[in-house]
Chain A
């Protein structure tokens, strides 16, 4: 282990464990969670590792308490995280909204399993994609990342913490049971200090400080509790001083900024991977575990002479609208395999704008797509 607790080396590790290690590498020193399959391993690993690095693990009485404890610890100045699955994710929604409203950096991991309701607790699905974007009430924007391998979970967790600290917003890691429970080679390297982002600190004295006065990037510097800033923050619509402002004008100013904060910084936030899309007639748009199968299907299609390509989403929210629009102009069709009955396909279809066809390849959950199924869809789309 390196001196700041990072477990450097090469490991054969499952996705959940890689997530925990990624968090520790990113500087996370607080975890509050509640056991839920298939995210429990993250909690267990954090319970073991956090005391080793001087951090705090607490198992709260439910997911609602977990989310709130994460917010509280973040306001005490500690990088914080929780991990859950569908049912817990639903419980956390109100307080993810609180995190957005208070502009609290934190990371929420959702290891998706088949739903709705109790569903298939131990089996994979990708049914929470839209929920991650719209789950909490009101108008807001959020960042959600989708890894597709244990190595990528490790890397993405660090990215998630960096994005959440830079933009003062909860960042959701939408992984799935397949990637979470799969064990693969994970290489952990020391992360350079300059590659880790921490929230902006106030540059003015406490008497001049206004908790929600944004800088040019629309993100306000964040004071934490106990440093003499004597600030007030509230979940009510507030003005720049942090106090409640119950009128439409304040609502417009605040809510618009909370969304623009993410929208206008899209270029910095959005990430995706493209394979063979330059001349592709059929583009498969996939994410998570499905993208690995899709990659194989695209290869099979190419072998048959179909010009197929893969757009693998890494950030799913904000959705890479511009790229999908561009690809939609050149390609004949999008094929969207996902382990749900059509969620991200709606975004793809919207952005394709009628220029390219959009074909959904659904799977209700419980297992993953077969490459053949995606290949058949590619063939159909290519006609």
Chain B
């Protein structure tokens, strides 16, 4: 602190909610390992006083997997952006969710690649403007909660940075819940995405969330597509029980031991 994020950027808010979520969950700070990727969101690792790792683009999730498997006592959290997690890191995202390894992923979605100047990303809404879609984006974006839920995550939520209290609560729930937890955090990016899409002040984006976000806990993630200037469905979409990676591993290995194969 002070941090490098722009005036009105939502990452500072998400970080604050994350830290308050840790406090609410009552976790031992010495046991938390925070892994971040590359991008504006990736800078979080350097601002939080826990064991933190600022890794390569897209690879925070496998790094976090290694940390967790190396020391299952660690509370592993991944904090990164939409491009880092869903584009270059997309493969790792779906496999980490599939394995249901115990970790919490906070994905800041500001609909573009902010740090490099506002290029489009896999979550940029159709027809939105960006540095690499000057005539409007013609690629269909991901619906991240749907993707991650389908891949096997046991906790999936989406909030905007305006939903401060709910986000804080979600973070605490996700951190305490065993298994793969994913929270998408919709954030303003006034300097690039906002400016290119007629919302140049952070306030404009926050007003948009205020007007257009709809809280629907338990909604089907399939219905949570985001369309430019359209409604944003937020809420805790998925909160289910499924054995974790460790649960299954223990079960299989114990059975092998009984059968004297191990």
Contact = CB atoms under 8 A, between A and B. Distances in A.
Query: Do A and B share a direct contact in the complex (Cβ within 8 angstroms)?
Result: yes
Nearest to B75: A226
Nearest to A94: B56
B2 interface: no
A52 B262 CA distance: 6
B63 A69 contact: yes
Contact of A230 (B29, B55, B68, B262): B29
Interface stretch (A142-150, A151-159, A232-240, A336-344): A232-240
A78 B91 CA distance: 25
B59 A61 contact: no
Interface in A220-251: 224-236, 243-244
Given A94-B56, A95-B59, A235-B54, A76 B70 contact: yes
Contacts of A62: 91
Interface stretch (B43-51, B120-128, B154-162): B43-51
Given A73-B67, A226-B73, 19 more contacts: A51-B256, A60-B62, A60-B65, A62-B91, A65-B65, A72-B64, A72-B65, A73-B69, A74-B66, A76-B71, A77-B71, A78-B71, A80-B66, A94-B56, A225-B33, A225-B67, A230-B51, A232-B53, A233-B54
Given A225-B33, A230-B30, A232-B45, A68 B69 contact: no
A226 B71 CA distance: 8
A64 B67 contact: no
A30 interface: yes
**Sorted from nearest, which 4 A-B pairs have the closest CB atoms?**
A72-B66, A76-B70, A73-B70, A234-B54
A71 interface: yes
A374 interface: no
A130 interface: no
A51 B262 contact: yes
Contact of A98 (B31, B56, B64): B56
B70 A229 contact: no
Interface in A24-41: 30, 32
A75 interface: yes
Nearest to B31: A226
B92 interface: yes
B52 to A, nearest CB: 5
Chain B interface main SS type: helix
Interface in B232-262: 253, 256, 262
Central interface residue in B29, B51, B65, by most chain A CB within 10 Å: B51
B63 A72 contact: yes
28 contacts: A30-B66, A30-B70, A52-B262, A58-B65, A58-B69, A60-B65, A60-B95, A61-B91, A61-B92, A64-B62, A65-B59, A65-B91, A69-B63, A69-B66, A69-B69, A72-B35, A72-B65, A73-B67, A73-B69, A75-B33, A75-B66, A76-B33, A98-B55, A224-B71, A226-B71, A228-B30, A231-B52, A232-B46
Nearest to B58: A64
Interface of A: 30, 32, 51-52, 56, 58, 60-62, 64-66, 68-78, 80, 94-95, 98, 102, 224-236, 243-244
Nearest to B59: A68
Given A78-B71, A230-B30, A68 B95 contact: no
Interface in B88-132: 91-92, 95
Contact of A30 (B30, B69, B95): B69
A234 B45 contact: yes
Given A68-B59, A230-B29, A78 B70 contact: yes
Contact of B70 (A51, A56, A231): A56
Contacts of B53: 72, 75, 102, 225, 232-234
Contact of A61 (B30, B73, B95): B95
B74 interface: yes
Central interface residue in B62, B71, B95, by most chain A CB within 10 Å: B62
B66 A244 contact: no
Given A65-B62, A95-B59, A234-B45, A80 B54 contact: no
A228 B29 CA distance: 8
B114 to A, nearest CB: 17
Given A62-B91, A69-B65, A80-B66, A244 B71 contact: no
Contacts of A243: 46
Contact of A231 (B51, B61, B65, B95): B51
Contacts of B46: 232, 234, 243-244
A178 B92 CA distance: 33
Central interface residue in B61, B63, B91, by most chain A CB within 10 Å: B63
A226 B30 contact: yes
A195 to B, nearest CB: 23
Contacts of A80: 66, 70
Given A69-B62, A244-B46, A77 B55 contact: no
Contacts of A32: 62, 66
Contacts of B70: 30, 56, 72-78, 80
A72 B91 CA distance: 18
Nearest to A72: B66
B151 to A, nearest CB: 12
A225 B51 contact: yes
B33 A235 contact: no
B74 A226 contact: yes
